[in-house]
A and B are shown apart, each in its own frame.
Chain A
């Protein structure tokens, strides 16, 4: 200890201390700082395959380096989750130009989508395909999820998840029969007109709650009978006018035809 103390004025001491400080700070930061989600290590083969697929199917609009053109946005930093959502729900590649890419039958199988995702992820890091333990909704609290849903989602997607209109032909699509994984990815990446709900403002647990809410709500079904598209008073009014009045006038006509 004495030996160390006696060398404290050694010319190299400051340099050594600085090195030590930097090492500790850097190490602590690396250990404690929030880590961006990173996809499972992709093999270079997979990235190469993804690049090939990208050049064949996506580059027309998104550009050869995926940095975007006038026809489509840059994909740098959107992450594998965005690729999985857009291609897994058949929205991409887009069948034709339009205000918004509609849900469609997927054109690629899971393996190819994963390859393209790995390629996009390799360009610049972004949100990875989420862990299955959150996307299943298992263990989520539907009550809490309902509150989150009504505060953040129902103004566009409707409280039943039936979808709703946005400006100029854009729309929030229906959430019926959508895989929980895609709901999670949509929250994570904010596709098209949707805002991003990243892990900072809606934790993975909260996202699982929302998925649990949607799941239990759809499992409960419609105890009152036909739901009329879950569109509320407009379709109910149409039924009242067309079927209600129509059938009762038919009955009145039948009674009127009956003689004494």
Chain B
């Protein structure tokens, strides 16, 4: 829609706004009251220009653009509550005997890390609330971050020029998992100790270097005294610093590249329609911070999370049923539960534990690698080198949407497999059967999801076409003078219609030849062939947007529908 207006030669949406009076730039009321101070600061540091630029920056308004904000605010809550926790937490594996106020653990030997976590929970005023806020905010951080990534993927916001920011987002997401796992391991309770034991096993499964890495990281054999202070440094210093640095770059890049927007009347690839930061967006965003903060506090006040006192102190000889990691590590745990034992091989007396390594070591880099590479793969297949500031409706990119849903299904199967034991007891099923089902499902369900999603997208596109050409079914039955009955259809208004027609026609790339002028096979044609095949995969079946001619024809002659519909979906055969 960036090139041609599908309705007629003039830009309909611009015409609609021709009579609008221009909004005056918002008068900054605060600057008068704070003028003296602001002027003093500006004379010395000169921030006025930059601040002015930022304050006038326009952001489009849509609820789905606020998912990233939820993640950002949750991270801030984690920083604030985490600072509180550092005042009392003792990151040490040193032995102590508990004498706090939780009766069932009195007199029990434990580490100082665990004892101080218990003290935070029971003997420090507000400690349990803050601890629970910290944990809930950490879960919500990764939940919101994942939902934000899904929004960016399904609307195509990762396309040029935002590929780099997508990669930064992928790294942020992966580091958030590590940060979460490090924090989950610190209290040294039975559950987190089991998690650490598993992590040590994962590292051991790395071919050749595994045992060296494990010994280096744990400072000797498991569990040792070193791992908790080391994880503490990583959790409160190293990873937060990297996360904040990358996150700042992420935000700056959004400001520099401007926010994307959904297609709509008056929205083009060259403008941003929305509110300026000051005062509207700042008020909304600021208010939203307090909503997120308040909600997290409520959740922490009413719903218990990570009841470390129930798990008890870590003891390598003990374990609890239902040992799961926090949800964001569930997919890796699920992969481990699904991997069959026969994947462990013995090569000249050295074990190669692929039954562990595939799920624990290879899965995460492969997954994030594929995510980071996707914008480049799609750009190569489509040959699209243009900038995109208008978002796609997911249905208008059936293959991308279907690929996304297939990947999500794969992830979902692994994640649910991590809860196979709980499903077994709650649904009164056999854990073996559930595991077999997921083992097959991890291969079958993504393919099924791909096919179903693409069909749904194409159907929705066709339904959009139908709506544009014939209008809305009014439910009004009309009888003509000859006695014929028909249901009257009401044409769509221009605003609604714009959304349904405002996307680009897609067609697969055609191979240009594959042989040069002398009939000799072109060397570069192998890549071109692959590309043509992939392009066929992406766009082989497509539903075109209604063109102005088709619309005019439909309005002119109501009986021409069938012919137009038939032309709507076309399947391209091979490229020659």
Interface positions of A (Cβ within 8 A of B): 99, 141-144, 146-147, 150-151, 154-160, 162-169, 171-172, 213, 216-217, 220, 222-228, 230-234, 236-241, 243-245, 247-249, 251-253, 255-256, 258, 260
B304 and A227 within 8 A (CB): yes
Interface positions of B (Cβ within 8 A of A): 61-64, 66-67, 69-70, 102-108, 121-122, 128, 132, 136, 139-140, 143-144, 147, 190-191, 275, 280, 284, 287-288, 291-292, 295, 299-307, 309-312, 315, 317-328, 330, 418-422, 424-425, 428-433
A255 with B284: in contact, given A158-B322, A165-B421, A234-B324 (CB under 8 Å)?
A: yes
A155 CA to B421 CA in the complex, in Å?
12
A233 CA to B64 CA in the complex, in Å?
27
Partner of A224, one of B284, B304, B317, B419: B304
A255 with B307: in contact, given A165-B321, A244-B136, A244-B140 (CB under 8 Å)?
A: no
**B128 contacts across to A, CB distance below 8 A:** 223-224
B373 CB to closest chain A CB (Å) equals 27
B312 and A255 within 8 A (CB): no
**B121 contacts across to A, CB distance below 8 A:** 223-224
Q: Which of B317, B321, B323, B420 has the most CB of A within 10 A?
A: B321
A176 CA to B112 CA in the complex, in Å?
30
A55 CA to B301 CA in the complex, in Å?
56
**B136 contacts across to A, CB distance below 8 A:** 240, 244
A172 CA to B303 CA in the complex, in Å?
26
A156 CA to B144 CA in the complex, in Å?
34
**A144 contacts across to B, CB distance below 8 A:** 107
A214 CA to B103 CA in the complex, in Å?
12
Q: Which of B104, B318, B323 has the most CB of A within 10 A?
A: B104
A233 CA to B333 CA in the complex, in Å?
12
B345 CB to closest chain A CB (Å) equals 26
A222 CA to B128 CA in the complex, in Å?
11
Partner of A164, one of B139, B292, B321: B321
Main secondary structure of the interface of A (DSSP, over half): helix
B29 CB to closest chain A CB (Å) equals 15
A244 and B299 within 8 A (CB): yes
Return the chain B residue nearest A166 by Cβ. Answer: B431
**A217 contacts across to B, CB distance below 8 A:** 104, 310
**B432 contacts across to A, CB distance below 8 A:** 167-168
B80 CB to closest chain A CB (Å) equals 18
A34 CA to B74 CA in the complex, in Å?
63
A182 CB to closest chain B CB (Å) equals 19
B560 CB to closest chain A CB (Å) equals 40
Partner of A240, one of B140, B321, B422, B424: B140
A168 with B108: in contact, given A217-B310, A256-B61 (CB under 8 Å)?
A: no
B107 and A143 within 8 A (CB): yes
A98 CB to closest chain B CB (Å) equals 9
A163 and B321 within 8 A (CB): yes
B167 CB to closest chain A CB (Å) equals 24
**B302 contacts across to A, CB distance below 8 A:** 225-226
**B147 contacts across to A, CB distance below 8 A:** 245, 249
A233 CA to B322 CA in the complex, in Å?
9
B108 CB to closest chain A CB (Å) equals 5
A248 and B104 within 8 A (CB): no
A1 CA to B392 CA in the complex, in Å?
118
For the A-B complex with A99-B430, A233-B326, A245-B147 known, give 17 more contacts whose Cβ atoms are closer than 8 Å. A143-B106, A150-B312, A158-B320, A159-B191, A169-B429, A169-B431, A213-B104, A224-B303, A224-B307, A233-B325, A236-B327, A237-B326, A245-B70, A245-B144, A248-B292, A252-B70, A256-B62
**B102 contacts across to A, CB distance below 8 A:** 220
A159 with B104: in contact, given A164-B321, A240-B136, A248-B295 (CB under 8 Å)?
A: no
**A239 contacts across to B, CB distance below 8 A:** 299, 303
B340 CB to closest chain A CB (Å) equals 16
A108 CA to B307 CA in the complex, in Å?
39
B304 and A228 within 8 A (CB): yes
**A147 contacts across to B, CB distance below 8 A:** 108, 312, 315
Q: Can you list 7 A-B pairs, Cβ within 8 angstroms, ordered by A?
A: A157-B321, A163-B425, A168-B430, A226-B302, A226-B303, A236-B326, A241-B143
A168 CA to B108 CA in the complex, in Å?
36
Return the chain A residue nearest B122 by Cβ. Answer: A223
A220 and B104 within 8 A (CB): yes
B324 and A143 within 8 A (CB): no
A154 with B330: in contact, given A142-B104, A168-B432, A260-B275 (CB under 8 Å)?
A: no
**A247 contacts across to B, CB distance below 8 A:** 295
